[in-house]
């Protein structure tokens, strides 16, 4: 490659509109060299990878309100692990802000709107300061802030929104009245494995009791994984069987080197290959125990 040649700009999808925490996280990770496209739902962000964009950034969890359900519903899909793969994560500090239209007093606020994750994170603040306010979910924190600029038909009263600090500066008609919540949670080197019953597993007769595969999963954790398990998440499987679940097992490299604790450090190819072999061996052991296991992320 000559000095005049440059690598193509990556196309990155995130949950929009502009000003969401997903937008902030994407820009912090990919920088100015990327082309960004926002989508109205996490499901559309996920499905955009391949034909429309090179990378998608979707939120997994926050430290107060827990896992993002829509994200884990996407992680159930068989295309993840086949033609889509998780290759990284980024943890950002969350700074929620309460915004209103210019001139609105807090005592006049009758409704507070935001993404359900933000409402959950700020539940203590909202209960203490706005015990009688209506809480309304919106697709994103940025959309909630932007909606304050348009009168709500049929609603008498003032509204406020919980959003990011950067979002609060995007609209001149809004004013920041209170910083509500802030968190940061550093992470180490991880991998994510999806586990469930195999497609050939016998479907129980109608009205027969069905035992979840949890006991199979738990038993394999002590015999099949050669690396520490840091968390387990569960969602209903895609099979049309009541109480049939799929599990997401997150593992961490034992004795994570200090280079991986530094988010600016680049892991060596040898270390990455060794980590991949460890995880693949764990997947092989789970499969040999009679379960379906797929490596869907490694970073």
Percent of the residues in the chain that have a pLDDT greater than 70, as a whole number: 80
Torsions phi, psi for 259 (to 5 deg) = -60, -30
**Final residue before a domain boundary, out of 123, 149, 183:** 183
Same domain, yes or no, for 192 and 289? yes
Last residue of a domain, one of 164, 183, 202: 183
CB atoms within 10 A of CB 167: 28
Residue 14 in any domain: the answer is no
Q: Is 173 within a domain?
A: yes
Q: Does residue 106 sit in the same domain as residue 151? A: yes
* Structural domains of the chain, count: 2
CATH of residue 142: 3.40.190.10
Residue 296 belongs to some domain of the structure = yes
Tally of CA atoms within 13 A in the half-sphere of 82 that contains its CB: 5
Among 266, 183, 195, CA closest to 229? 195
Average pLDDT score over residue span 168-193: 75
Give the C-alpha separation, 242 to 166, whole Å: 44
Tell me, yes or no, whether 172 and 195 share the same domain: no
Domain match, 167 and 199 both: no
Same domain, 274 and 255: yes
pLDDT at 34 over 50: yes
**From 53-62, 154-163, 189-198, 259-268, the region with the lowest mean pLDDT:** 259-268
Q: What is the pLDDT of residues 137-162, one digit of tens each?
A: 998 888 999 999 998 988 988 999 99
Q: What is the mean pLDDT of residues 117-140?
A: 92
Whether 81 shows a pLDDT value over 80: the answer reads yes
Shared-domain flag, residues 111 and 198: no
* Whole-number pLDDT of residue 88: 87
Single out the residue in 117, 149, 183 at which a domain terminates: 183
Do residues 148 and 159 make contact, with C-beta atoms less than 8 angstroms apart? yes
Residues 213 and 233 in one domain: yes
Considering the domain architecture, whether residues 240 and 270 belong to the same structural domain is answered as yes
Is 87 part of a structural domain of the chain? no
Domain assignment of residue 162, given as a range: 94-183
Cβ contacts of residue 257 below 8 Å, gap of 6+? 271
What is the average pLDDT across 226-234? 80
Do 170 and 225 sit in the same domain of this protein? no
Instruction: Tell whether 295 and 196 lie within a shared domain.
Output: yes
**Looking at the domain assignment, is residue 55 inside a domain?**
no
- Contact assessment for residue 96 and residue 176, using Cβ atoms and an 8 Å cutoff: no
Q: Is residue 289 part of a domain?
A: yes
**DSSP letters along 77-116, please?**
STTBTTTB-B-------EEEEEEEETT--GGGEEEEEE-H
Residue 38 falls within a domain, yes or no? no
Whether 221 and 128 share a structural domain: no
- Strand bridging mode 61-62 / 35-39: unpaired
Confidence of residue 43 (pLDDT cuts 50, 70, 90): very high
Q: How far apart are CA 168 and CA 132, in angstroms?
A: 24
The reply to whether 82 falls in a domain is no
**Does the predicted model carry a pTM greater than 0.85?**
no
Q: CATH number, domain at 221?
A: 3.30.70.260
In the sheet where 11-15 sits, what is the strand order? Answer: 35-39, 11-15, 55-57
Q: Which two three-digit tokens encode residue 42? A: 């996490």
Do 205 and 281 fall into the same domain? yes
The DSSP annotation for 250-282 comes to EEE-TT--HHHHSTT----HHHHHHHHHHHHHH
């Amino acid at each position: 490659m000559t000095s005049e040649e440059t690598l193509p700009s990556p196309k990155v999808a995130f949950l929009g509109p502009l000003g969401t925490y997903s937008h902030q996280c994407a820009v912090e990770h990919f920088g100015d060299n990327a082309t960004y496209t926002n989508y109205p739902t996490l499901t559309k962000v996920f499905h955009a990878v391949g034909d429309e964009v090179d990378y998608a950034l979707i939120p997994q969890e926050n430290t107060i309100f827990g896992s993002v359900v829509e994200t884990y519903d996407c992680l159930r899909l068989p295309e993840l692990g086949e033609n889509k793969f998780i290759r990284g994560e980024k943890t950002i500090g969350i700074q929620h802000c309460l915004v209103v239209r210019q001139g609105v007093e807090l005592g006049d606020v009758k409704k507070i709107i935001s993404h359900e994750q933000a409402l959950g994170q700020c539940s203590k603040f909202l209960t203490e300061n706005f015990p009688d306010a209506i809480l309304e979910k919106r697709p994103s924190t940025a959309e909630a802030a932007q909606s304050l600029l348009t009168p709500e038909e049929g609603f008498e009263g003032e509204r406020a929104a919980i959003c990011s600090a950067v979002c609060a500066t995007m609209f001149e008609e809004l004013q920041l009245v209170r910083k509500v919540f802030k968190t940061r949670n550093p992470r180490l080197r991880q991998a994510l494995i999806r586990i469930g019953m195999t497609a050939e597993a016998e479907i129980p007769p109608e009205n027969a009791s069905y035992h979840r595969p949890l006991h199979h999963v738990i038993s394999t954790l002590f015999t099949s994984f050669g690396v520490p398990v840091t968390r387990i998440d569960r969602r209903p499987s895609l099979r049309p069987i009541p109480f049939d679940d799929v599990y997401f097992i997150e593992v961490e490299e034992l004795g994570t080197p200090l280079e991986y604790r530094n988010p600016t450090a680049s892991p060596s190819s040898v270390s990455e290959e060794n980590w991949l072999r460890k995880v693949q061996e764990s997947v092989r052991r789970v499969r040999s125990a009679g379960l379906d296991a797929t490596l869907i992320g490694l970073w």
